[in-house]
Amino acid sequence: MSNKVITFLVVLFAVTGLIIYVAKTTSVVKTDAPQAQEAAVTPAPAAADKPAETATGTETPAATPEPEKTETAKTDDTEHSADSVLGDDAPLSGDHEAVEAAKAEDTAEKKAPASLTPESFPALPATPTTGGSTVTGSAGGSSLLAPSAAMDIDMDNALAERSLGDVDAPVTVIEYASMTCPHCARFHNDILPVVKQRLIDTGKLRLIFRDYPLDTHALKAAMMARCTDRSRYFQLVEVIFKQQSSWIKGSDPLVGLKQLGALAGMEPAYIDTCVSNPQLQQFLLSGMQEGQQKYKIKATPTFVFNNGAEQMEGDKNPEDFDDIVEKLLKKKGK
């Protein structure tokens, strides 16, 4: 063969081999491309998940650590509040309901019922008596802040009748009132001063005050008032009624009563002794029972004129008293 033919064949084989090599290389590249593309795409969901968590902010657990801590703190507060009612072993799921129930019960205890009988009040323990009608003792024991004389209660003074006006007045009215009664407070604050000026100070009417406690707070207020000197009794009653909306709404009404009693010169220990005295409590409750049986008292305030000749109850005006007094004076020819 000639040299030209040999050279041609060599070049032909070389070109053919190059074409085959290029073809194989291109096939490999095309085959591997989807895998590489998948490898590039596969991490994408994981990368997308993280921005989603961050983007949602407080809506995801990872982005809401602070709100979670706040809610935990609130739950802890509820647990501490419920412990006093439920104890440490109480189920957490019932804490909120139990606390609300306890609050409702506590509120219900502070509301005065429509009426109470003497049997509704708990009996007080007997208090030692020293020297006739003077009673000594204290619910909290002897006081180191006041001398023992300050603990003595003059029972003759405490049980004496409380009245305004001339004992010989032609018309007598007995007022049955509760220290926690809003209408009673209105009468003493707004109506009584006018009635006193028109009828009591002019000698036409005598008013006798009888306690008709509708709840234990009213009973304690009545007892405290009677433990002050008779000369200051109606002044203290006036203060109790004027401040009724304040002391009765306190967490402990007795604390408010003691502040009012201090205005009449009574020490806290003395007031404790007074409101714990069974003889005084029984006296007031017996008067309440007498009013129920004798005059059919059902509400406060109730006013009984001349032993039942006339009777009215509820929120009244000075003119109502004028009318009844004039009517009774005419019957007596005065």
Instruction: Please answer whether residues 246 and 301 qualify as being in contact, where contact means their C-beta atoms are separated by less than 8 angstroms.
Output: no
Long-range Cβ contacts of 282-286 (<8 Å, 24+ apart): 283/158, 283/159, 284/211, 284/213, 284/219, 284/222, 284/223, 284/226, 285/118, 285/121, 285/213, 285/219, 286/118
Residue 146 Ramachandran class (φ > 0 left, ψ -120 to 50 alpha, else beta): beta
Mean pLDDT of the chain: 72
Please check whether residues 193 and 320 belong to one and the same domain.
yes
pLDDT of 25 higher than 70: no
In angstroms, rounded to a whole number, what is the distance separating the alpha carbons of residues 49 and 91?
38
Of the candidates 209, 197, 237, which has an alpha carbon nearest to the alpha carbon of residue 321?
Answer: 197
Please check whether residues 287 and 144 belong to one and the same domain.
yes
Q: Is residue 231 part of a domain?
A: yes
* CATH number of the domain bearing residue 273: 3.40.30.10
pLDDT at 333: 82
- 10-35 mean pLDDT: 59
Please check whether residues 208 and 316 belong to one and the same domain.
yes
The residue whose two tokens read 């129930």 is 101
Q: Which residues contact 174 (CB under 8 A, 6 or more apart)?
A: 207, 208, 210, 295, 303, 304
Answer with the one of 33, 54, 75 that is the final residue of a domain. 54
pLDDT at 19: 72
Instruction: Please answer whether residues 240 and 268 qualify as being in contact, where contact means their C-beta atoms are separated by less than 8 angstroms.
Output: no
Q: Tell me the percentage of the chain whose pLDDT exceeds 90.
A: 53
Answer with the one of 18, 38, 54 that is the final residue of a domain. 54
Domain tally, the chain: 2
What residues does 211 pair with on adjacent strands? 177
Please check whether residues 148 and 45 belong to one and the same domain.
no
Q: What is the pLDDT of residues 190-234, one digit of tens each?
A: 999 999 999 999 999 999 999 999 999 999 999 999 999 999 999
pLDDT of 325 higher than 70: yes
pTM: 0.59
pLDDT at 65: 38
Instruction: Please answer whether residues 244 and 264 qualify as being in contact, where contact means their C-beta atoms are separated by less than 8 angstroms.
Output: no
Q: Is residue 290 part of a domain?
A: yes
Answer with the one of 54, 69, 92 that is the final residue of a domain. 54
- 173-190 mean pLDDT: 98
Please check whether residues 296 and 150 belong to one and the same domain.
yes
Please check whether residues 145 and 271 belong to one and the same domain.
yes
Please check whether residues 152 and 7 belong to one and the same domain.
no
Q: What is the pLDDT of residues 50-102, one digit of tens each?
A: 333 333 333 333 333 343 333 333 333 333 333 332 233 333 233 333 334 43
Domain housing 306: 134-331
